[in-house]
Amino acid sequence: MITMDLLAINFSLGLEKLLLIGAIITFSLIVAMYTTYAERKVAAWMQDRRGPNRAGPFGLLQPAADGLKLFFKEEIIPLTSNKTLFVLGPALAMITAMLTSAVIPWGSSIELFGRNISLQIADVNIGILYVFGVVSMGVYGIMIGGWSSNNKFSLIAAVRGASQIISYELAMGLSLIALLMMTGSLSLKTIVQQQMEGGWNIIYQPLGFLIFLICVFAECNRTPFDLPEAENELNFGYHQEYSSMKLGLYLFAEYVNMFISSAVVATLFFGGYDIPFVDETALSLSLGANTVALLGFAALFAKILFFLFLFIWVRWTIPRFRYDQLMDLGWKKLIPLALANMLITAVVILWLNK
């Protein structure tokens, strides 16, 4: 009977998930589009300038103009490059950037046409491991792009990118282990639900959050960790030989990555779709479950926007690390700190449970 259930193809469930996937991908692409606009605007404001204000009201059509420009540019594939890999690079970067959104709970669930639709594509019980796996794949976009370009700058950038992401992934994983010891679950939905009841994880894991945040900056190749694309030393690094929309995909993947990383940070440490200071179950009785689910999504989105702003804010404040300083910070500071954090958390948990 159970096997029959598993084998039976549930068409409405499939359609529901397909629509959800489409909605989330469209949403993250639009957000990424306007993050490029926000980046330029915020950068301008922080430098006492005005930023783009010619295309449309307040320059709101600027991202569309940029995208259109990239589409119309001539596409150049260098003669000496490895063509298959050269095309594969940006595609991989984009795909891995989009994949992570599958396990993030974007909200609780809504009732539509008599169906209870969960606002999460897949509630995998190894959600965080999945995120880590996909994020590690992201380095292939950089490595393949840098290698296949057959250019020294690109190659150096690829090597830098790979070593940076591997180094910071360690500290990232270690900082999360402390969190997982507390939650006892790898499912992102469970983690959010626990935070709704027991307060946000940032209260219990401030050090873990700090380490995780720094590592997220490094994983996204954002300043101060943007060594793989350092304009002024490596000529844009791994995307130096790219042109047209292939370059666009690389640049865009960075913004999608930022969006998804912000969502992961908000989910793990800031309660995900939890509305602060509000009891959701009491609210859903008076407003209805659907409204509360949408409000929860709005709360998550507000948290994501804050982190996106933080990404931009930090970029226009802090200069880039030197390569040895980067490695120093990763291996000699963050990893021992994360280990200490793990140890302290373990001791406290054991002590409270005695």
Q: Which residues would be at the binding site for other proteins (CB under 8 A)?
A: 42, 45-50, 53, 313-314, 316-318
Nearer to other proteins, 49 or 83 (CB): 49
Token pair recorded at residue 332: 């000699």
- Whole-angstrom distance, CA of residue 211 vs CA of residue 173: 10
Token pair recorded at residue 97: 């950037």
Nearer to other proteins, 43 or 181 (CB): 43
Nearer to other proteins, 41 or 189 (CB): 41
State the minimum distance, in angstroms, from the CB of residue 318 to other proteins.
Answer: 6
State the minimum distance, in angstroms, from the CB of residue 210 to other proteins.
Answer: 8
> Could you give the count of Cα atoms lying within 13 Å of 80 in the half-sphere of its Cβ?
6
- Whole-angstrom distance, CA of residue 117 vs CA of residue 13: 9
Residue 248 near residue 70 (C-beta atoms within 8 A): yes
Residue with tokens 């120093």: 328
State the minimum distance, in angstroms, from the CB of residue 225 to other proteins.
Answer: 13
Residue with tokens 């380490």: 211
Nearer to other proteins, 50 or 69 (CB): 50
State the minimum distance, in angstroms, from the CB of residue 316 to other proteins.
Answer: 6
- Whole-angstrom distance, CA of residue 242 vs CA of residue 90: 9
Token pair recorded at residue 350: 């054991």
If one counts every other C-beta atom within 10 angstroms of the C-beta of residue 43, the result is 15
Nearer to other proteins, 152 or 333 (CB): 333
Q: How far is CA 138 from each of CA 167, 194, 321, rounded to the nearest angstrom?
A: 14, 30, 21
Nearer to other proteins, 48 or 74 (CB): 48
Nearer to other proteins, 87 or 210 (CB): 210
State the minimum distance, in angstroms, from the CB of residue 310 to other proteins.
Answer: 9
State the minimum distance, in angstroms, from the CB of residue 130 to other proteins.
Answer: 31
State the minimum distance, in angstroms, from the CB of residue 5 to other proteins.
Answer: 53
- What does DSSP assign to residue 122? -
Residue 247 near residue 20 (C-beta atoms within 8 A): no
